[in-house]
Structure 1
Amino acid sequence: MEIVLIRHTTPNIKKGICYGQSDIDVADSFIDEAEKILKKTTDLEYDILYSSPLKRCKKLAQKINSSIITDDRLKELNFGDWELKSWNDIYKEDLNNWMDNFVEIPTKNGESYIDLHKRSTDFINEISKLPYKRVIVVTHAGVIRSFWSYIHNIPLKNSFELKVNYGEILTVTI
């Protein structure tokens, strides 16, 4: 099975703000960004389209096809109490502790990267049992990195070496 991973377009939020699972909208550049993605996916044959239920993913998925299935396992990392705060306003000791071991340490009232990885790999393992040849998944950078590390057997702590720009399309085979 081939999985076409598409990261959402630019979100409508100021740089430097933590926004994991906050349901923020897309930026004014959405139409232009979406058109570039559509040019690459219009002729792509696929069996099913999945999306994170967050607006920034769902809006793009609906441009690809109005028939989508949303799945909470495709949401970005839940940053808990850090959501919608400036990274500069997060207590430095908490931030440094998390940065030293973001894979296993959850944010306060949030989740760790391993939590995100467990739910995203659960999604992959579930769909891999289905009779699809190609699946499109519109999701977030954290989930894409998690998929990438799982499929390519890369340690989670190294998954951030994969740069995933807004609107980027990556393909993996399972």
Structure 2
Amino acid sequence: MEIVLVRHTTPDIAKGICYGQADIDVVATFEQEAESIVSKLKKYNFDSMYSSPLQRCKKLAHKIGKDINFDDRLLELNFGDWELKPWDHIPKEEINPWMEDFVYTNPKNGESYVDLHERTTSFIEEILKTSNDTVLIVTHAGVIRSLWAYFHQIPLEKSFDLKLEYGEILTINTLDLHHES
């Protein structure tokens, strides 16, 4: 199976703001960004398309195709009380433990990265049981890193070594991997 992961386009939010599951719109250059992505995806023939239900993914998914399956397991990390706050306004006593162990520590009223990984793994294991040849997934950087770590057997704490631009496309061919689920 070929899994094509697409990160959403540029969100309409100032730099330095913590956002995860906040439903942020996209910037005014969305049409041009989406056009470029759609053009790059023409070489694929997708059996199924899945997307995070947040509008920054949903809008791109609608530009790519019509038959979209929205799945909450593809949501970005839930930052809880930190959502939409400037990173430098989050109290040190809250953010420091998270910075030291973001994999297992959750933001106040949010989820840990391992929580996100468990839900994305649940999602992808369902997909792997289908008869699809090529699957498109429009989602967020945290989800893409989690899935990349899953397929490439990378420790979660190392998954942020994968740098992702907005609109980036990554392809995983499961036949090339020696992964046991």
Question: What's the TM-score once normalised by structure 2's chain length?
Answer: 0.95
Per the alignment, residue 52 of structure 1 pairs with 52
Is 1:89 the counterpart of 2:89? The answer is yes
**Match of 2:24?**
24
Are 2:114 and 1:138 equivalent residues in the alignment? no
Following the alignment from structure 1 to structure 2, what is the Cα–Cα distance between the partners of residues 85 and 25?
16
CA deviations on 1:121-169 (whole Å, 9 max, x unpaired) are 0001001000000000000000000000000000000000000110000
Amino acid across the alignment from 2:123: F
**Match in the other structure for 1:124:** 124
CA distance in 1, matches of 2:96, 2:3: 34
CA shift at 1:66, angstroms? 1.7
AA aligned to 1:160 is F
Q: Distance in 1 between matches of 2:16 and 2:67?
A: 34
Distance 2:96 2:29 in 1: 33
Q: Deviation at 1:93? A: 2.2
Distance 2:92 2:172 in 1: 37
Q: CA deviation at 1:173?
A: 2.1
Residue 153 of structure 2 aligns with an amino acid whose one-letter code is N
Provide the alpha-carbon RMSD of the alignment: 0.6
Q: Distance in 1 between matches of 2:144 and 2:29?
A: 22
Q: What SS is found at the alignment partner of 2:25?
A: coil
Q: Distance in 2 between matches of 1:173 and 1:103?
A: 26
Deviation at 1:29, TM superposition (A): 1.1
TM-score, normalised by the number of residues in structure 1: 0.98
- Report percent identity of matched pairs: 62
Code of the aligned partner of 1:37: I
State the alpha-carbon separation in 2 of the partners of residues 67 and 110 from structure 1. 31
Write the distance in 2 (CA, Å) between the matches of 1:93 and 1:80.
Answer: 16
3-state DSSP of counterpart to 2:111: coil
Could you list the runs of 5+ residues in structure 2 that have no partner in the other structure?
A: 175-181
- What CA distance in whole angstroms lies between the structure 1 residues aligned with 2:121 and 2:160? 17
